[in-house]
Amino acid sequence: MDVLPPLLDRAEVARRLRQIFPDGTPERDKCIRDAAAATVAAFLYVGAVEGTDIWLNPVHVVRLGDTRMLFSADPLSRADYARAPKASGERWYQDNSREQVRDEVIRQGLIPNGAVIERQGVPTTSSKPRYALTAEFAALFDPGLRDAALAAAARAWADATLNPMALARIVSLRGSGDRDGADVLVRFPNGETRLLAPGPSSRIARAVVEDFAPRFLADPVVLWLSESAAKVAARDEGWIRRLRLRITPDRTLPDIILLDRGRSAADLMLVFVEVVATDGPVTEQRARAFLEIAAEGGFDPSRVACITAFLDRDRPEVKKAMPSLAWGGHAWFASEPDRLLRLLPAPGRLAGMG
């Protein structure tokens, strides 16, 4: 490609990155942070795009700035900067920020997500420029591509580039926020339905009932489901009495209690689930309270599971909750319904873990 790509300012690059890499994208933060916007802007400025034989070095990013982007946007200035990146006017970063650009933004974010390629045959110790945007990714920053056309192009790029698991997470999270103001309809395993109040907690609760329960339990029953402000949305009195469970407002109760009837009476299992949209995971203290409820019904601890359910593992509430999650419990993410994270209190040798 002989013609340099058209330029966008860093703010518009940042806006497009947030659209191109929606919630659920692996390492999304590294692909949408300020340094990522500066990095993509630098790729475009020097023309480091697949097929041009022009390559970027992290120095090109840290020595660029708004002054050069505004006043030295002619092809000759851009070509000179590609060959010898010298700072001019106010720059975005200092040279000691190169590691963030190279290791976090490029190597951990843009390359794994298929946005950047690396030049072959360049030794790892070499200071030669080695990175370029893929042609398809660079095309998403065409100034003439806007609104619905940009949204369609971004989705088409993701469908063609991201791995199936990443796409599944994106689709799940995209659907979870489509109708924030609407009541959430939950279908129970027995076919009954309940309407929950709008909001992320209700959407996670629905995922627990409709996605988690049939995947991980042999024959699930919803014993208890509550909403915010201690509103009880569902309570199966028949099973609660039969199991001799004391579920009263004065106790520490989870958002959801599931029963797995299994295939015989010996297979019965209680599953206590906390739904976390902002806060409230299964801590050690809460796990002990749940085990007490189960013990009153004659359940051995081996027949009890404690689950903290989140929307997605890349959310800030997950990072906040992790230090306080109870050992022996589990974490489940609605965006990756087939997977379950277990916090083993005493795993033993790694080779012996099944």
Count of structural domains within the chain = 2
Residue 178 domain-assigned?
A: no
Residue 2 domain-assigned?
A: no
Residues 272 and 219 reside in one and the same domain: yes
Residues 331 and 189 reside in one and the same domain: yes
How much is the pLDDT for 24? Answer: 78
**R_g (Cα) of the chain, nearest Å:** 26
Residue 175 domain-assigned?
A: no
CATH of the domain at 226: 3.40.1350.80
Note the pLDDT tens digit of each residue in 304-337: 999 999 998 888 899 999 999 999 999 999 988 9
Average pLDDT over residues 95-99: 88
Q: State which of 128, 162, 196 marks the end of a domain.
A: 162
C-alpha angle with apex 339: 332 to 106, nearest 5 degrees?
95
Mean pLDDT of all residues belonging to the chain? 88
Note the pLDDT tens digit of each residue in 270-286: 999 999 988 889 999 99
CB neighbourhood size of 315 (10 A):
20
Contact assessment for residue 296 and residue 272, using Cβ atoms and an 8 Å cutoff: no
CB neighbourhood size of 323 (10 A):
8
Q: State which of 106, 127, 162 marks the end of a domain.
A: 162
Residues 191 and 154 reside in one and the same domain: no
Q: State which of 103, 128, 162 marks the end of a domain.
A: 162
Average pLDDT over residues 244-249: 88
Residues 124 and 215 reside in one and the same domain: no
Predicted confidence (pLDDT) at residue 46 exceeds the cutoff of 90: yes
Residues 213 and 348 reside in one and the same domain: yes
Please tell me whether residue 273 adopts helix, strand or coil conformation: strand
Residue 168 domain-assigned?
A: no
Note the pLDDT tens digit of each residue in 252-262: 899 999 999 98
Compute the distance between CA of residue 117 and CA of residue 111 in angstroms, rounded to an integer: 6
Its sign, for the CA torsion 281, 285, 291, 296, is: negative
Note the pLDDT tens digit of each residue in 9-31: 999 999 999 999 988 788 889 99
Compute the distance between CA of residue 256 and CA of residue 260 in angstroms, rounded to an integer: 13
Most confident range (mean pLDDT) of 35-39, 125-129, 171-175, 298-302 is 35-39
How much is the pLDDT for 149? Answer: 95
In percent, the amount of the chain with pLDDT more than 90 equals 60
Residues 97 and 232 reside in one and the same domain: no
Predicted confidence (pLDDT) at residue 183 exceeds the cutoff of 90: no
Residues 121 and 198 reside in one and the same domain: no
Residues 132 and 194 reside in one and the same domain: no
Predicted confidence (pLDDT) at residue 171 exceeds the cutoff of 70: no
Residues 226 and 132 reside in one and the same domain: no
Compute the distance between CA of residue 204 and CA of residue 202 in angstroms, rounded to an integer: 5
Average pLDDT over residues 121-138: 89
How much is the pLDDT for 182? Answer: 75
Residues 141 and 267 reside in one and the same domain: no
Residues 52 and 151 reside in one and the same domain: yes
When pLDDT is cut at 50, 70 and 90, the band that residue 82 belongs to is: very high
Range of the domain at 238: 184-352
> Helix 10-20 to helix 147-161 angle, to the nearest 10 degrees?
50
Compute the distance between CA of residue 139 and CA of residue 160 in angstroms, rounded to an integer: 14
When pLDDT is cut at 50, 70 and 90, the band that residue 6 belongs to is: very high
Residue 309 domain-assigned?
A: yes
Please tell me whether residue 51 adopts helix, strand or coil conformation: coil
How much is the pLDDT for 208? Answer: 96
CATH of the domain at 142: 1.10.10
